Amino acid sequence: MSELAFFIDYSRCIGCRACVQACEECDTHRGQSMIHLETIERRDTVQTAPQMCMHCEDPVCARVCPADAIKQTPDGVTQSSLKPRCIGCANCVMACPFGVPKYEASIDQMMKCDYCFDRTSIGKKPMCATVCPSQALTFTTREEIERTRRGRPINEWRFGNEVVRTKVFVLVPPATTQVDVGLGDLVQIRAGKKASHVRPVAKDDVAALLEDLP
């Protein structure tokens, strides 16, 4: 039996925000949620996407930190910035390919999901994955995921020429082995144009479903 791991299945997410509310109740950062729930484009779809820290094997946030304030534990958890070291420069915020760290102006420090270190280090599940009603966020073994899910868990991402591997897995259709984010699109977004992959989702348009009506 392999160790417990974190899996995200975006197709299961119902946008209820239980993860966001529960993260705020975690003892190490109570009162402040470290997970984001993104509403993709409410006009077009009800799709939502929870975003926790993906805990990169070689975390870009730590690499770009000039104060060496972001540490990784021996079991691969990238921690929130260390208070005495963090200089609030927000390099990590800009560098993270997943848009996870947030600069908190009130404390002049970066904060982010630390894999519920206080819970996972003593064998408990992270708060968000425990409460998640749809189990879009799941903390379990790889065997259990393979036994109970149709999707394939992957943890390899391509951003242009850079490949990032993460501790957290996402569930994707079985034929997929790597998520290619497509740097070209990202560049286009930065240039202010509409990126080609950000299309209105026609299948979620109820009017389109009714077009066959006589």
Partner 1 sequence: MAKLPTSVPLLVDRFGPHTHTIPPGGWTSAEEPDRTVKTHCCFCGQQCGIQLKVKDNKVVGFEPWQDFPFNLGKLCPKGVKRYLQGDHPDRLLTPLERVQGEGFRRIDWNKALDRTAEAIRRIQQEHGHDAFAVLTGASLTNEKAYLMGKFARVALRTANIDYNGRLCMVSAAAASKKILGYDRAANPWSDIRKSKCILVAGANVAECAPITTEYLWSAREAGAKIIVLDPRMTPIARTVDLYIPVRSGGDIGIFNGMLHVMIERGWIDRDFIAKHTTGFEEVERAVRKYTPEYASKIAGVPASMIVRAAEMWGPAESSFLLHSRGIEHHTKGVENCMAAINLVVATGRIGREGSGYAMITGQGNGQGAREQGQKCDQLPGHRDIENPEHREHMANVWGVLESSIPHKGLSALEIFEAAHARKIRGMILLSFNPMVSLPDQRFIREAIERLEFFAVIDFFLSETARFADIVFPGSLMEEDEGTTTSAEGRVVHHRQVVDPPGEARQDWKIICDLATRLGPKDKFAFASPKEIFDELRQASRGGASDYYGITWEKIDEQKGVFWPCPELDHPGTPRLYEGGRFAHPDGKAHFQAVEWRPAAEEPDEEYPITLTSGRVVAHYLSGNQTRRIGALVKQTPQPYCEMHPRLAEKLSVAEGDFVRVESRRGSTTLRALIVKTIRPDHVFVPYHWPLERSVNNCTIRAIDPVSKIPEFKICAVRVAKAAPPSDDHVKLAPEAGGLR
Could you list the residues that contact partner 1 (CB under 8 A)?
11-18, 20-22, 24-25, 27, 30-31, 42-48, 125, 127, 130-135, 148-150, 200, 204-207, 209-210, 212-214
Of 74 and 123, the one with the shorter C-beta distance to partner 1 is 123
Of 43 and 190, the one with the shorter C-beta distance to partner 1 is 43
| Shortest spacing between CB 169 and partner 1, in angstroms | 16
Of 44 and 57, the one with the shorter C-beta distance to partner 1 is 44
Provide the residue type at 14 as one letter.
Answer: I
Spatial contact of 157 and 179, defined as CB atoms under 8 Å apart: yes
Spatial contact of 168 and 10, defined as CB atoms under 8 Å apart: no
Of 7 and 96, the one with the shorter C-beta distance to partner 1 is 7
| Shortest spacing between CB 23 and partner 1, in angstroms | 9
The answer for residues whose C-beta is within 8 angstroms of residue 72's C-beta and 6 or more apart is: 59, 62, 78, 79
Distance CA 11, CA 141 (A): 19
| Shortest spacing between CB 171 and partner 1, in angstroms | 10
| Shortest spacing between CB 68 and partner 1, in angstroms | 28
Nearest residue to 77 via CA among 6, 179, 158, 157: 6
| Shortest spacing between CB 58 and partner 1, in angstroms | 32
Of 42 and 193, the one with the shorter C-beta distance to partner 1 is 42
Spatial contact of 11 and 40, defined as CB atoms under 8 Å apart: no
Of 3 and 212, the one with the shorter C-beta distance to partner 1 is 212
The answer for residues whose C-beta is within 8 angstroms of residue 19's C-beta and 6 or more apart is: 35, 37, 50, 52, 128, 129, 131, 132, 137
| Shortest spacing between CB 7 and partner 1, in angstroms | 13
Strands (E), the chain: 5-8, 36-39, 48-51, 102-104, 109-111, 137-140, 152-159, 162-172, 179-180
